[in-house]
Chains A and B, each alone.
Chain A
Amino acid sequence: MKNINLQGKKTTRHGFGEALVELGEKHDNVVVFGGDITGSVMTSFFQKKFPERFFSIGIAEQNATTIATGMALSGKIAFFSSYSAFAAFRNADQLRVSVCYNNANVKIGGGHSGITVGPDGATHQSLEEVSFLRALPNMTVVVPCDYNEAKKATIAIGEMYGPAYIRFGRSSVPLFTTDETPFTLGKAEVFREGADVAIVACGLMVWPALLAAEELKKNLGIEARVINNHTIKPIDGETLTKAAVECGCIVTAEEHQVYGGLGSAVAEVVVKNAPVPMEFVGMKDRFGTSGEPEELLEKFDLNWQAIYASTLKVIERKNNGNCEYRPLTDIPKYEK
Chain B
Amino acid sequence: MFNEIDCNMNSNLQFSKVQFPNEKRVATGYAPIALEIRRDIVKMLTLAKSGHTGGPMGLADFMAVLYFGKFMKYSANEPQMPDRDRFVLSGGHLVPVLYSCLARAGFFEPDELSTLRKFGSRLQGHPGLDTELPGLETSSGSLGQGISIAVGMAMADKLVDHNDRKVFCLTGDGELEEGAVWEAAMAAANFKLDNLCWIVDNNDCQIDGRVRDVMSIYPLAEKFEAFGCNVIEIDGHNFEQIVNALDKFEQNNKNKSGKPTVIILKTFMGQGVSFMQDKYSWHGIPPTEEQAEMALQELK
Q: Mark A residues whose CB is within 8 Å of B.
A: 31, 52-53, 55, 57-58, 60, 62-63, 65-76, 78, 93-94, 96-98, 101-103
The 7 A-B residue pairs whose C-beta atoms are closest, nearest first, are A70-B152, A66-B148, A74-B156, A63-B183, A67-B152, A70-B149, A70-B153
**Residue interface mask B54-80, A partner, CB < 8 A = 1:** 000000000000000000000000000
Of the A-B pairs whose beta carbons lie under 8 Å apart in the complex, a sample of 29, sorted by A's number, is: A31-B156, A62-B145, A62-B148, A62-B180, A63-B148, A66-B151, A66-B152, A66-B180, A66-B184, A67-B149, A67-B155, A69-B149, A70-B148, A70-B155, A71-B152, A71-B160, A72-B152, A78-B152, A94-B145, A94-B148, A94-B180, A97-B139, A97-B141, A98-B139, A98-B148, A98-B149, A101-B139, A102-B129, A103-B130
B165: nearest chain-A partner, CB-CB:
A74
B157 within 8 A of A: yes
- What is the CB-to-nearest-CB distance from B146 to chain A, in angstroms, rounded to a whole number? 8
B187 within 8 A of A: yes
B137 within 8 A of A: yes
Q: How many residues of B contact A (CB 8 A)?
A: 30
Complex CA–CA separation, A60 to B144 (angstroms): 13
Q: Which of B172-188 contact A (CB under 8 A)?
A: 180, 183-184, 186-187
Which label, helix, strand, loop or mixed, suits the secondary structure of the B interface?
Answer: helix
B140 within 8 A of A: yes
A62: nearest chain-B partner, CB-CB:
B180
Are A76 and B187 in contact (CB-based, < 8 A)? no
Query: Which of A76, A97, A103 has the most chain B CB within a 10 Å cutoff?
Result: A97
A91: nearest chain-B partner, CB-CB:
B180
B residues near A55, Cβ cutoff 8 Å = 155, 159, 191
- What is the CB-to-nearest-CB distance from A23 to chain B, in angstroms, rounded to a whole number? 15
Point out the residue from B138, B161, B184 that lies within 8 Å of A102, measured CB to CB. Answer: B138
B residues near A73, Cβ cutoff 8 Å = 137-138, 149, 152-153
Q: Mark B residues whose CB is within 8 Å of A.
A: 88, 128-130, 137-142, 145, 148-157, 159-161, 180, 183-184, 186-187, 191
Complex CA–CA separation, A167 to B270 (angstroms): 48
Are B138 and A93 in contact (CB-based, < 8 A)? no
A98: nearest chain-B partner, CB-CB:
B145
A residues near B149, Cβ cutoff 8 Å = 66-67, 69-70, 73, 98
B179: nearest chain-A partner, CB-CB:
A62
B residues near A94, Cβ cutoff 8 Å = 145, 148, 180
Are B160 and A67 in contact (CB-based, < 8 A)? no
Are B153 and A71 in contact (CB-based, < 8 A)? yes
